[in-house]
Amino acid sequence: MTEFVTKPGVKNLQHPGEKLITTHCCYCGMQCGMHIRLNEKTGKVVGVEPRYDWPVTLGKMCPKGVTAYQTIDHPERITKPLIKKNGEFVESTWDEALDLIEKNFKSLQGKHGKDAVSVFGGVSMTNEKCYLVGKYARVALGTRFVDYNGRFCMSSAAGGFMKTLGIDRGSTLPWPELEHTDCFFMAGTNTAECHPTTIQWLWKARDKGAKMIVADPRETPTARIADVHLDLKAGTDSALANGMMHLIIKEGYVDEEYVNERCNNYEELKASVEKFTPEYTSEITGVSIEKLVKAAHIYGKSPRSVMMFARGVEQQAKGVDNVTLYTSMALLRGQIGKFASGVATFTGQGNGQGGREHGQKADALPGYRKIDNPEHVKYVSSVWGIDPSEMPKAGVSAYEMFDEIQAGNIRAMHVICSNPAVSAPNNNYIWDSFNKLDFMVVSDFFLSETAEFADVVLPASSWAEDEGTTTNLEGRVIRIRKVKDPIGESKTDWEILKLIAERMGKGSFFNYNNPRDIFEEFRVASKGGKADYSGITYERIEKEDGIFWPCPSEDHPGTPTMFQESFGTPDGKANLAAVEWQEPDENPSNEFPHILTTGRVVFHYLSGSQTRRTDFLMEQCPEPYAEMHPHLASKYALQDGDNVYLETKRGSMTVKVKLTKAIREDHVFIPYHWGKELSVNKLTNPALDPTSRMPEFKVCAVKLKKV
Amino acid sequence: MKKVMYLEFERCIGCRSCQAACRECGGHDAKERNYVEYIDFFESRQTYPMMCMQCKDPACAKVCPANAIQITEEGVVLSAMEEKCIGCRNCTFGCPFGIPKFDFEENKMYKCDMCYDRTKYDISPMCASVCPSDAIRFIDHDEMMELRRRRTQMNLIEGKKPSQNDKWQYVPEFFGVYSD
């Protein structure tokens, strides 16, 4: 396999004594292409070179991407297993650490049953590893309690797509087609800060006259350039979408032929949006009637439009409803399954797409199979070489695992590639739960806030120290190349899982020598499933600039555009959503009079475990802040830079105030990338969506006090 | 050098990727030489990038008493030569755009050199390479002239007239930096 991949005629700067290794960024779902610079003499990573010929990002990178390489040889990397003795971490050998894990896992499972040990996975790792986490939980540990941080990230999008379209692929179209789109309707997505390299495609389209409609309580750098900024109240997306559909139907913008041929429930939808007149919608959402009407006309008249959304609409107790409604907006206009049009969610985590297809989820098996379907269990069991009766039943969602800890049903947890001590809502409850565990193992490459609670910390490799595949936000399966060997005594996640499996007496099921062995098994395991990877090989990915799943055979070209002929539902038709508007779980009251919403900044990624250790990024954004309108601040006599105390029903924190008029007057925004006393997730609401079990990070009621 | 740097301020999303990338350039000692600033954060999140204009008759070089600021044959204005720079900081005050920076530890001036180690081979500078919104571009002179006319064309097609709200679309929102 080639390490440095480039197309003829593309020039890169090659420094003497260095080699370039072609890979992708470790951070968000854009998976921007990059070459890593490696000093051949010292074997150290020294920098990054743009990958101009990667078709999705064309060499562009955000500041996180440019500095991503700095975490690889970082001085704070964990290089040896750590065991907590008398409250202090002590470096140990792998044998000692594994002995301790084996002893505790076996004794806890002996005393309390197999399900006493749980696994908390993550999707910032390769498909190979994500696949193995599910198998590790079910085969090596035999537990039903496995789930992953995708519940905090995008399970509402998955649930919504499953309901309406029958298959959950983040984007129904490839990104380079966005250039030819006429209108982008973007709800709850601050693309400019969270997926910055997408902006180039939006501008390419705008240069030809494309329009942008952005729904967001804040005038984000994305909303700033919108033709219409729908400045809605957080948590009112379903009313906005219903209101837009009311206007689309009333103004005759529905593609009747498409809807009649390819969709169910049109009459029900018509009836349910009937009452969402611009007046009623405006009353709920706080968006002016004028803007609603303007947005509906622009969206309705555009021949080719893409409906895009992200965590803003998904991280709500009605996240699935929001997704089904926005998707229905695209269906009414007959957009899904066509060139340069469709629906897309911006995948937050690097492998958020791939990681949720491969059976890390409490109720899922590889290839998007279901654990409550006996046929699916039978097939996957045959690939794994176990008896179907040995397959554990479905577990519970990520946040609900902490309820199980509190109830005493989960006694031990292995956290892999995740930092729920920062990223889960209602932090105080999470921390208390970690303290209640009898035994906790964390695999990570930095000592994260979660790792600090652990009894054993296993040093894992970073993304550049192993090879494999990820699936980007388009649904394109791509190659991550190994740049160098793991630092110190750290091991790759799959090696760690294999070692523990061996200790649990299940080594024969984990007979892998390299990630490719896992990929080959995973291709078989996903065969025939909705997310079929069986036709994808490492060689094909390299040759064809990645391959879009489903790809059921080696001579299949992959599927860049989804649903061209039919949808993934049993009858092949999309299900339009007829859903009532429901208010958020928590609303402003006399005691807690304002709305708190959370989100990202461009300089940090998720729980910040990596970006808070990167100098450039910390110089730009060292700490969280409470962003609010000067109008709101004046009620509390708050000036820019003052400290403000914020309190919700669950927790409190004190941060500095940052004033701007680019936010609704009744909202406060705090970014969530910090831990402990700086974690806004102490305040957020864990109300779960009934289908996706995703918490309502985006809306809660808060009170303020000047300190 | 056949290509020019082209800035389109409105596109700037304030990510400061150009600054992070500037530190990555070979001869830059991990110090950035470009700027990204808010126009007024109280009012809007609009930011804009600023970098050296590579002036034809640069004030920084003119006011340098030690003749330390050299201009390459392609017209790129380099950082002060280490052996000549006397650390007087005249250049930082002389530049009308406030571009040159001063390193107090090393006692010398440093500034954008358009990533000369890249651009001399016609490889795009780091800032323009990574800019996610194409606010900074490294393009052919002809393409720049075409882009300059493009906005006006689009406005004519759409029948737009400047108003208070979209003044950004009518003030000269681009800046071409080029040599012969």
pLDDT at B169: 52
Same domain flag for A108 and A238: no
Instruction: Write down the ipTM of this complex.
Output: 0.94
- Cα B156 from chain centre: 29
> Average pLDDT of B131-150?
90
Domain boundaries of chain B, sorted by first residue: 54-111
| Tokens found for residue A200 | 């180039």
CA distance A542 to A536: 11
> Average pLDDT of B162-172?
53
Of B13, B43, B134, the CB nearest to A661: B43
CA distance A551 to A562: 12
| A56 occurs within a structural domain | yes
The candidate with the shortest Cα–Cα distance to A377, out of A365, A363, A395, A368, is A365
* Domain CATH number, residue A135: 3.40.50.740
> Is the predicted pLDDT of residue B173 greater than 50, yes or no?
no
pLDDT at B172: 46
- Cα A314 from chain centre: 11
**Closest residue in A to B46 (Cα–Cα):** A221
Give the CA radius of gyration of chain B: 17
Same domain flag for A314 and A447: no
**Closest residue in A to B18 (Cα–Cα):** A63
A662 touches chain B (CB under 8 A): yes
Which of A199, A211, A291, A618 to mutate against chain B (most B CBs within 10 Å)?
A: A199
* Domain CATH number, residue A309: 3.40.228.10
The candidate with the shortest Cα–Cα distance to A364, out of A388, A393, A402, A401, is A393
| A142 occurs within a structural domain | yes
Same domain flag for A107 and A200: no
> Is the predicted pLDDT of residue B145 greater than 90, yes or no?
no
| A579 occurs within a structural domain | no
- In this prediction, the residues of chain A whose per-residue pLDDT falls under 70 are 1
pLDDT at B141: 87
Same domain flag for A502 and A427: yes
Judged by DSSP in three states, A245 sits in helix
Same domain flag for A122 and A47: yes
Same domain flag for A366 and A463: yes
The candidate with the shortest Cα–Cα distance to A376, out of A367, A361, A385, is A367
Give whole-number Cα distances, A122 to A424, A620, A703, in Å: 12, 27, 33
Hey, what CATH class is B54-111 in?
alpha beta
Same domain flag for A421 and A505: yes
A416 contacts: CB under 8 Å, gap ≥ 6: A119, A120, A121, A122, A125, A133, A442, A443, A460, A493, A497
| Tokens found for residue B50 | 């600023």
3-state SS of chain A: helix, strand, coil percent to 5? 35, 20, 45
| Tokens found for residue A542 | 């390299």
> Is the predicted pLDDT of residue B2 greater than 80, yes or no?
no
**With an 8 Å Cβ cutoff, are B19 and A616 in contact?**
yes
How many CB pairs (< 8 A) connect A and B? Answer: 113
- At which of A510, A526, A558 does a domain end? A510
| A582 occurs within a structural domain | no
**With an 8 Å Cβ cutoff, are B130 and A60 in contact?**
yes
- Please report residues of A whose CB lies closer than 8 A to that of B23: 616
> Is the predicted pLDDT of residue B162 greater than 90, yes or no?
no
| A162 occurs within a structural domain | no
Of B19, B43, B131, the CB nearest to A60: B131
Same domain flag for A111 and A232: no
- At which of A345, A378, A400 does a domain end? A345
Same domain flag for A334 and A400: no
> Is the predicted pLDDT of residue B86 greater than 90, yes or no?
yes
Kindly report the nearest CA distance between residue A230 and chain B, in angstroms: 16
pLDDT at B171: 46
What percentage of chain B exceeds 90 in pLDDT? 63
pLDDT at B4: 86
Helix/strand/coil (H/E/C) assignment for every residue in A340-363: CCEEEECCCCCCHHHHCCCCCCCC
In terms of residue numbers, what domain contains A439?
1-152+351-471+475-510
| Tokens found for residue A294 | 């303007």
- At which of A310, A345, A380 does a domain end? A345
Of A62, A198, A221, the CB nearest to B17: A62
Same domain flag for A147 and A231: no
Same domain flag for A80 and A8: yes
The number of distinct structural domains making up chain A is 3
Same domain flag for A2 and A143: yes
The answer to whether A477 and A67 have CB atoms below 8 angstroms apart is no
A499 touches chain B (CB under 8 A): no
Residues 67-106 of A with CB under 8 A from B: 67
CA distance B58 to B72: 12
| Tokens found for residue A416 | 């892999």
